[in-house]
Structure 1
Amino acid sequence: MADIAIIGAGAMGSGIGRKLVEGGANVLTYLEGRSAATLERAKAAGMQPCGLDRIVDADIVLSIVPPAEAIGVAGKFAAAARDRKEPVTFVDCNAISPDTMRLVAAAFDGSGVDVLDGSIIGLPPQPGKRGPKLYVSGDPANRSALLAGHGLDVRRIEGPVGAASALKMCYAGINKGVTGLGTAMFLAAIRSGADQSLKRELEESASDLDQKLSSGIPDMYAKAYRWVAEMEEIAAFLGKDDPVALIFKGMAGLYRKMAEDRNADGELAAQLDGLLGRE
């Protein structure tokens, strides 16, 4: 039975943990500083909470944390694994830019840890539904096959560390960018009194987009705080000389505003829900 460790047990981390447990793996998790709710979620998924000293003994370790925590997690794990004699594979699965991914890899210089670049696309695994895909690059030895052997949909990219992160930036830029653009325009329409006409026009002339926004915007509220750093990573990925980077800096501001709204009175979310028929 393979030992697979996951650092982070949010909705995605715990969902993937459950999938691996169902696939016959022994799944460990490191939850220092996390909430009691996160601890219970991990245990319910069949994951075994333990310290870093046990995590470094796993066959493969997945980092599934908010983007802003990726470098810190890598540094902490690298320090714990520095003197380990047996090889271990660390897969960063976070929504970070290729440049940030290279900083993550640099944290392991001289450690002997094999670092892979991963990106997760799709929703957390749910019973009866197709789970997410884990894209992996920088893996010439096919170490990620261990994950595929325990139930994950692993897609190898024949490219170096940074290629999988670039894919995530591009996909998230399109997917979450559309959600952010729809949110911004709906709020502008509400302020201007054009909201009902805009919604009706979308229903009539762009029904696929209307359906995507009607489900995607309410689903975003609880995730907005995590998407702030992701939008900033996309802006950094595009680079300061690309004018489109400014759009994603703006998206970061939008999602920050929606996160603050959720922590306050939820007025903006209520306005959007009213327009989308989610009251």
Structure 2
Amino acid sequence: MPTIAVIAPGAMGSAIGARLVEHGARVLTSLEGRGAASRERAAAAGMIDADTAELVAADILLSIVPPADAEALARRLAPALAAAPRKPVYVDANAVSPGTIARIAAIVSETGAPFLDGAILGLPPKPGAKGPRVYVSGADTAPALVLRELGLDLRVCPGAVGAASSLKMSYAGLNKGLTALAAIMILAAEHTGAGPALLDELAENEPALLARFAQALPDMAPKAYRWAPEMGEIADFLGPDAAGRQVFSGYADLYERLAADAGKPEIAALIRFAAAAAER
């Protein structure tokens, strides 16, 4: 029975863990410092609380944490990874830029553990559904292929470490960037009284976009706090493109604002617009 460590048991990590358990894996996680919700998710998924020594003795270690925590997790685990007689394959599956993934890869590689760049595209897995797509890139992706047998839609992204992260940044930039642009323009319309007219215009001439916004805006609301640092990572990914960096730095500011208490009225306005859109 393969042993997979999944850190941490958030919405995505616990759902990935449940899929792996369903297909016969022994799934470990860390509940140290986690709240009641995380503990309930882990228990429902069949994940086993483990100490650091047990986590780094797994066959594969999946890092699935908020972007801002990815590098810190690698640094925290590095001493235990270095001391482990048998190293896990460390897969960083976080929404971070190639520059960040290069720093994480250097930290992990110094411990002697094999490292793969990972990217998760799509929503957390649900019973009866295939997704999300889990991409890996790096020098030797063969050890990760066991995840296919354990129920994940694992795909190899051609290229070295940084290729999967580049795919994630590009896809998320289009997907979550479009949601940010919609939020900005819908809020501007609502603030000036043009919201109903904008809704009518989209319904008549851009029904596919309106249907997308009806789903994407409510989905974004509880995740804005995580999307803010991800937009910052995309800005970093864009490197010398000053205009692109400015756009995504602005999106980071937007999501940070919406995630704060001060952003609750704007979130409420977006939810109202999305509800009206869903009725069209």
Structure 2 partner of 1:164: 164
Identity rate of aligned residues, in percent? 48
Structure 2 partner of 1:205: 205
Q: How many Å separate the matches in 2 of 1:241 and 1:168?
A: 18
1:215-238 deviation digits (Å, cap 9, x = unpaired): 100110100000010000000000
1:102-155 deviation digits (Å, cap 9, x = unpaired): 000111233110010000000001112232010000042511112112111100
* Residue of 250, 273, 277 corresponding to 2:271: 273
Structure 2 partner of 1:11: 11
Residue 225 of structure 1 aligns to which amino acid in structure 2? Y
Structure 2 partner of 1:246: 246
Q: Secondary structure at the match of 2:111?
A: coil
Structure 2 partner of 1:216: 216
Runs of at least 5 residues in structure 1 that lack an aligned partner in the other structure:
none
Q: How many Å separate the matches in 1 of 2:151 and 2:139?
A: 18
Q: Secondary structure at the match of 2:143?
A: coil
Deviation at 1:240, TM superposition (A): 4.3
How many aligned residue pairs are there? 277
Q: How many Å separate the matches in 1 of 2:94 and 2:156?
A: 16
Q: How many Å separate the matches in 2 of 1:141 and 1:257?
A: 39
Structure 1 partner of 2:183: 183
Q: How many Å separate the matches in 2 of 1:109 and 1:270?
A: 46
Q: What TM-score comes out, normalization by structure 2 length?
A: 0.96
1:41-99 deviation digits (Å, cap 9, x = unpaired): 11110000111111011000000000000000011111111121223200000000000
Q: How many Å separate the matches in 1 of 2:110 and 2:91?
A: 17
Task: Name which of structure 1's ranges 242-251 and 229-238 shifts more when overlaid on structure 2.
Answer: 242-251
Q: How many Å separate the matches in 1 of 2:242 and 2:262?
A: 34
Structure 2 partner of 1:92: 92
Q: Is the 8 A contact 1:5 1:28 kept in 2?
A: yes
Q: Secondary structure at the match of 1:276?
A: helix
* 1:216–1:265 Cα change, 3 Å: closer
Q: How many Å separate the matches in 1 of 2:273 and 2:96?
A: 33
Q: How many Å separate the matches in 1 of 2:10 and 2:72?
A: 17
Residue 126 of structure 2 aligns to which amino acid in structure 1? Q
Residue 265 of structure 2 aligns to which amino acid in structure 1? E
Deviation at 1:204, TM superposition (A): 0.8
Q: Is the 8 A contact 1:21 1:46 kept in 2?
A: yes
Q: Is the 8 A contact 2:29 2:50 kept in 1?
A: yes
1:156-204 deviation digits (Å, cap 9, x = unpaired): 0121000000000000000000000000100000011111111111111
Structure 2 partner of 1:62: 62
Q: How many Å separate the matches in 2 of 1:265 and 1:133?
A: 32
Q: Is the 8 A contact 2:56 2:87 kept in 1?
A: no
Q: Is the 8 A contact 1:7 1:31 kept in 2?
A: no
Residue 276 of structure 1 aligns to which amino acid in structure 2? A
Deviation at 1:276, TM superposition (A): 2.5
Runs of 4+ residues deviating >6 angstroms: none
Runs of at least 5 residues in structure 2 that lack an aligned partner in the other structure:
none
Residue 231 of structure 1 aligns to which amino acid in structure 2? M
Deviation at 1:31, TM superposition (A): 2.4
Q: How many Å separate the matches in 2 of 1:23 and 1:136?
A: 20
RMSD between superposed Cα atoms in Å: 1.4
Deviation at 1:270, TM superposition (A): 1.7
Q: Which has a greater percent of helix?
A: 2
